[in-house]
Amino acid sequence: MLTFHKEEIKASINGALALRTKINEIVDPIYDQGITNICFMGIGGTLASSMQVVTHMQEKSSLEVICQSAAEYTTTGNRRIGSGTLLVLSSVSGTTKEIVSAVTKAKVYGATVLGFIDNKDAVLARMVDHVVTYPANEQLKFFMVADRLMFHEGVFSDYEEYYTELEEHLADALVDVGEKSEEFAREFVAAHHEDMIHYFVGAGNQWGATYSYAMCYWEEQHWLRTKSIHAAEFFHGMFEIVDKNTNVTVFVGEDSQRELAVRVANFLPQICHRYTIIDTKNYTLEGISEKYRGSISHLVMRQVCHRIDMEMERVNAHPTVIRRYYRQLEY
């Protein structure tokens, strides 16, 4: 098996879950004071994570939940973001310029900002009202904030039971997904490592995963062309260019939008011979209750994709750390 440090992965996940106490110490008093809305803000990969958590909240919560591109906020603004807003963001470097500008503006309008900043010495870490520093696991961090708010709102009564289950079983379950998807990843990469273009389709909390996997991994790290499309949008234009030789991968999760992805998965065999369905349902997730599988489907998919990435890097002999333009040129 290629690079796969089980114990490191488990420690990383469990360490992220252990942030919950700290997150709640920040979120609880903010909720008690009263908020008008919650805004998840990002750019690129962090915008994708924002899409995921917003979809997650919209199902249960009656809070106003905003998914905001940092660059659009800096230019167009959003008058809904103000003194009653809890603004949540994540930045690995803590220097992303779109995020720095957006936070500067949001502070002027009085928003309370909670930043997950991996680099605690970065400028952003000093700008936000509350900072949590811990590497990676962005989705878990965002979802812990969302779930805590929904717990307070009274629409997530089994919040403690859910997190107890994650703390006990998530890390092992996800590592198992990684191990079980190794063979699939090898075959998939053998078939697709030289694709002229690869289409990724997904819905629900997989949509952010689909969007970011296509863009932040295949395009940015593997330099492979992709298009991502929401499963519901697939039938409204894009599918006309799919023929028997088109490379299409459908991410099928287990949340409320599962049926949208399944619709694409069921349709494809009629018109295409180079499609792949990755269905999180095919993974055991030992210890995770059926009713919670939907809420972690995107984490399951991430493990599968990670195996693809490792194998792709090897087969294409293209180290994923190299950037052609990102932070190499002025723009």
Residues within the interface to a copy of itself (CB under 8 A): 43-45, 47, 55, 58-62, 64, 69-72, 75-80, 98, 196-197, 203-204, 212, 215-216, 219-221, 223-227, 230, 232-233, 235-242, 255-257, 259-260, 263, 266-267, 270-271, 323-326, 329, 331
- Per-residue DSSP letters for 152-205? HHTS-TTHHHHHHHIIIIIHHHHHHHHHHTHHHHHHHHHHHTT-S-EEEEE-TH
DSSP state for residue 257 in the 8-state scheme:
T
> How many of the other CB atoms lie within 10 Å of CB of 59?
15
Q: How far is the CB of 157 from a copy of itself (least distance, A)?
A: 16
Task: Name the residue nearer to a copy of itself (CB basis): 116 or 218.
Answer: 218
CB contact at 8 A, 105 and 127? no
Total residues belonging to the chain: 331
Q: Which is nearer to a copy of itself, 52 or 181 (CB)?
A: 52
Q: Tell me how far, at minimum, the Cβ of 79 lies from a copy of itself, in Å.
A: 4
Q: How far is the CB of 330 from a copy of itself (least distance, A)?
A: 8
In the bound complex, what is the minimum distance in angstroms from residue 61's beta carbon to a copy of itself?
6
* Residue pointed to by tokens 């878990």: 140
Q: Which is nearer to a copy of itself, 266 or 289 (CB)?
A: 266
> What distance, in Å, lies between the first and last C-alpha atoms of the chain?
39
Nearer to a copy of itself, 58 or 164 (CB): 58
Which residue's CB is nearer to a copy of itself, number 91 or number 181?
91
Output the smallest distance, CB 226 to a copy of itself, in A.
8
Q: Which is nearer to a copy of itself, 134 or 235 (CB)?
A: 235
Q: Which of 45, 49, 94, 105 is nearest to 72 (CA)?
A: 105
Least CB distance to a copy of itself at residue 216 (A)? 5
* Neighbour tally for 242: CB within 10 Å: 19
CB of 326 to a copy of itself, least distance (A): 7
Closest to 89 (Cα-Cα) out of 79, 80, 102: 102
Contacts of 96 (CB under 8 A, 6+ apart): 43, 46, 70, 124
Distance of alpha carbon 51 from alpha carbon 228, whole angstroms: 14
The nearer residue to a copy of itself, 162 or 213, going by C-beta atoms, is: 213
Integer CA distances (angstroms), 235 to 183, 240, 242, 268, 302, in order? 31, 8, 11, 11, 25
